[in-house]
């Protein structure tokens, strides 16, 4: 028995490039909605990936900044300025409290009347009607 010979290759058609492009274009036109859907899905996936990577990069930078800023010279300078301002504020506050404790109103000063200072008598009556009686503390 002799081995079988493979069948002879018959005549092959050579497809010109223009015809291949034309066939591809018709296929794309026929399946345009499917190709647009796939393309938009790929674009959205890439945009989401870029968003995730950008957010992670920003967070890493913020984490690095929060660990390095207490050691910076600018932070030490700002901290010193704040401590100085706090000392000045406490000194000013104690002076104002001392002055307020010993201060007496001028002899011609009138007592503050909320009806005159804040509105007319009619306004107070209307306000009492709207909110009712105020609670009186006991005890």
Query: What global pTM score does this model have?
Result: 0.35
- Which pLDDT tens digit goes with each residue over 10-48? 777 888 999 999 998 888 788 888 878 889 999 999 999
C-alpha to C-alpha distance for 54 and 34, rounded to whole angstroms: 30
C-alpha to C-alpha distance for 114 and 128, rounded to whole angstroms: 14
Residue 115's pLDDT band, with cuts at 50, 70 and 90, is: low
Identify which of 76, 95, 99, 98 has the alpha carbon closest to the alpha carbon of residue 87.
95
In this prediction, residue 51 carries a pLDDT of 98
Instruction: State the average pLDDT for the chain.
Output: 82
């Amino acid at each position: 028995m002799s081995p079988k010979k493979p069948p002879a290759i018959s005549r092959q058609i050579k497809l010109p490039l223009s015809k291949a492009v034309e066939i591809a274009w018709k296929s794309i036109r026929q399946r345009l909605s499917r190709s647009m859907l796939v393309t938009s899905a790929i674009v959205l996936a890439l945009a989401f990936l870029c968003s995730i990577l950008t957010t992670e990069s920003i967070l890493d930078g913020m984490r690095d900044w929060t660990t390095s800023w207490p050691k910076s010279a600018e932070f030490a300078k700002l901290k010193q300025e704040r401590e100085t301002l706090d000392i000045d504020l406490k000194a000013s506050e104690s002076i104002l409290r001392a002055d307020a404790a010993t201060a007496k109103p001028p002899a011609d000063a009138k007592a503050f009347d909320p009806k005159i200072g804040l509105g007319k008598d009619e306004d107070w009556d209307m306000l009492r009607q709207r909110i009712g009686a105020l609670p009186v503390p006991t005890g």
